């Protein structure tokens, strides 16, 4: 087992720059890296030599010669190291073991029994992580995507509303248990990061990724970096007020976006308390597909409310692209056209009204891939 500290060598800015260059543009020659990064050829050579010794970079014979000797090309050895990603959702904890390219090698899941206390929750996390531990490849660390409000520096879950828990020392407990570096992030922000790295969006400076499931959260990428805000609550868009006289949200305020578009909100709209068979948001979607007009109208209305929320965000942040993920986004057939129409008629300028809105292609693994990316950022991005 690789223990914490082994990766301190990565923190060198030059190495991170070189690694990121190879990750983005590989196969690439040493000479090209020197030209693009403005580092001197000897600096590039010595850093690359160490990176090859550490196994994270390898030479490849794909190079094209432009006359003369064929340059040796460098690529990332994605199989050299592994990372554990954890999605600590409200109903269960899911874990993956992934390589450096975000490829899933192993999975495990631990169901959560509510009510639960902090100790039981940490035990469930450890249990799930043990299900994907292996000794074949050295492990870099563990990334945890946690719903609710997370204090990123200390890796503490300050408030997990769906579990009714507060102040869970996730990073501290897991580092103690596994001796690996642990990063903890809000689940929607983790998802945004994974989407930015692995969603095939090309070169983007800014992006908003929105997770619409049992709640609504978002992650904001600005200048290529995840934006946290002054006290780690940037992206809590589910608690943006859409209607001053709306229904009361679990946070205590009225008319939050979440009370219009989250899964439970959709379910509430179709279930009057009198009915025996309570329908889930998923049932609503399935029946809309089969032609139920009332449910189709409810989903379109959900899309309109989401469009109002996103228009507000376009006016504040003006991102290049908005990506939707989470369970509710699977109803894109009904929701997406309504979102786009609303933005088109409401945004202030023609350019703003054309903001790209699409559904994530990472599917159900978006948050898990995001959790893994929390550690990739540490390796590949110059501090």
Tens of pLDDT, residues 74-123: 999 999 999 999 999 888 999 999 999 999 999 999 999 989 999 999 99
Is 70 exceeded by the pLDDT of residue 64?
no
Burial of 48 (0-12, 13-18, 19+ CB in 10 A): buried
Mean pLDDT of 333-346: 96
Mean pLDDT of 205-226: 93
pLDDT tens-digit readout, 152-186: 999 999 999 889 999 999 999 999 999 999 999 99
Do the beta carbons of residue 373 and residue 193 sit within 8 Å?
yes
**pLDDT at residue 275, rounded to an integer:** 59
CA distance 104 to 365: 9
Is 60 exceeded by the pLDDT of residue 198?
yes
Do the beta carbons of residue 177 and residue 133 sit within 8 Å?
no
Tokens 């590989």, located at residue? 26
CA distance 245 to 213: 23
**pLDDT at residue 214, rounded to an integer:** 87
At 4, the pLDDT band (50, 70, 90 cuts) reads very low
Mean pLDDT of 132-158: 93
CATH code: domain 202-360 is 3.30.420.40
Mean pLDDT of 188-200: 94
- Residues of CATH 1.10.10.10 domain(s) within the chain? 6-76
Mean pLDDT of 41-55: 93
Q: Quote the Cα angle for 302-307-309, to 5°.
A: 100
How does DSSP classify residue 3? P
Is 60 exceeded by the pLDDT of residue 27?
yes
Three-state secondary structure along 64-93?
Answer: CCCCCCCCCEEEECCCCCEEEEEEECCCEE
At 273, the pLDDT band (50, 70, 90 cuts) reads low
Is 60 exceeded by the pLDDT of residue 16?
yes
Q: Which residues pair with 104 in a beta bridge?
A: 98
Is 80 exceeded by the pLDDT of residue 251?
yes
**pLDDT at residue 7, rounded to an integer:** 55
At 211, the pLDDT band (50, 70, 90 cuts) reads very high
Do the beta carbons of residue 90 and residue 147 sit within 8 Å?
yes
Q: Which CATH class is domain 6-76?
A: mainly alpha
Instruction: Give, to the nearest 10 degrees, the angle between helix 263-270 and helix 293-317.
Output: 150
Q: Which residues pair with 156 in a beta bridge?
A: 151
Mean pLDDT of 190-204: 92
Is 60 exceeded by the pLDDT of residue 224?
yes
Is 50 exceeded by the pLDDT of residue 238?
yes
Looking at per-residue pLDDT, the higher value among 382 and 11 belongs to 382
C-alpha closest to that of 374 among 222, 98, 233, 182 = 182
pLDDT above 70: percentage of residues in the chain: 93
Q: Quote the Cα angle for 174-222-350, to 5°.
A: 140
Q: Which residues pair with 83 in a beta bridge?
A: 98, 141
**pLDDT at residue 274, rounded to an integer:** 52
pLDDT above 90: percentage of residues in the chain: 77
pLDDT tens-digit readout, 299-318: 999 999 999 999 999 999 99
pLDDT tens-digit readout, 341-369: 999 999 999 999 999 999 999 988 999 99
How does DSSP classify residue 235? T
CA distance 323 to 370: 14
State the first-to-last Cα distance of the chain, in angstroms, to the nearest integer.
Answer: 26
Is 50 exceeded by the pLDDT of residue 326?
yes
At 383, the pLDDT band (50, 70, 90 cuts) reads low
**Helix/strand/coil for 341:** helix
**pLDDT at residue 312, rounded to an integer:** 96
Pick the CATH number of 82-193+367-380 from 3.30.420.40, 3.90.950.10, 1.10.10.10, 1.10.150.120: 3.30.420.40
Is 70 exceeded by the pLDDT of residue 1?
no
Supply the mean pLDDT for the chain. 91
**pLDDT at residue 85, rounded to an integer:** 98
**pLDDT at residue 271, rounded to an integer:** 85
- Residues of CATH 3.30.420.40 domain(s) within the chain? 82-193+367-380, 202-360
């Amino acid at each position: 087992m690789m223990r914490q500290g082994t990766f301190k060598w990565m923190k060198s800015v030059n190495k991170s720059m070189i690694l990121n260059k190879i990750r983005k543009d590989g196969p690439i020659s040493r000479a090209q890296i020197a030209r693009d990064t403005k580092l001197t050829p000897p600096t590039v050579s010595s850093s690359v030599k160490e990176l090859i010794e550490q196994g994270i970079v390898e030479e490849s014979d794909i190079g094209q010669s432009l006359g003369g000797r064929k340059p040796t090309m460098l690529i990332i050895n994605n199989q050299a190291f592994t990372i554990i990603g954890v999605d600590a959702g409200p109903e269960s904890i899911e874990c993956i073991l992934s390589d450096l390219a975000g490829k899933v090698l192993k999975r495990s899941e631990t169901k959560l029994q509510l009510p639960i206390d902090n100790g039981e929750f940490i035990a469930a996390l450890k249990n799930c992580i043990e299900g994907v531990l292996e000794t074949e490849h050295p492990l870099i660390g563990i990334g945890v995507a946690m719903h609710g409000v997370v204090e990123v520096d200390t890796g503490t879950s300050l408030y997990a509303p769906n579990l009714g828990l507060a102040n869970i020392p996730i990073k501290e407990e897991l580092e103690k248990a596994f001796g690996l570096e642990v990063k903890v992030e809000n689940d929607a922000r983790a998802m945004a990061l994974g989407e930015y790295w692995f969603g095939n969006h090309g070169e983007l400076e800014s992006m908003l990724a929105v997770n619409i499931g049992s709640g609504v959260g978002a992650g904001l990428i600005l200048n290529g970096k995840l934006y946290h805000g002054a006290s780690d609550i940037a992206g809590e868009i589910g608690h943006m007020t859409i209607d001053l006289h709306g229904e009361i949200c679990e946070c205590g305020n009225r008319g939050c976006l979440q009370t219009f578009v989250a899964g439970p909100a959709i379910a509430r709209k179709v279930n009057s308390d009198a009915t025996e068979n309570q329908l889930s948001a998923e049932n609503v979607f399935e029946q809309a597909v089969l032609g139920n007009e009332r449910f189709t109208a409810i989903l379109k209305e959900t899309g309109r409310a989401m469009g109002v929320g996103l228009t507000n965000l376009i006016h504040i942040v003006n991102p290049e692209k908005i990506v939707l993920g989470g369970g509710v986004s699977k109803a894109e057939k009904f929701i997406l056209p309504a979102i786009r129409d609303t933005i088109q008629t409401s945004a202030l300028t023609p350019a703003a009204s054309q903001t790209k809105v699409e559904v994530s292609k990472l599917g159900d693994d978006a948050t898990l891939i995001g959790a893994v990316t929390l550690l990739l950022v540490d390796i590949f991005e110059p501090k």
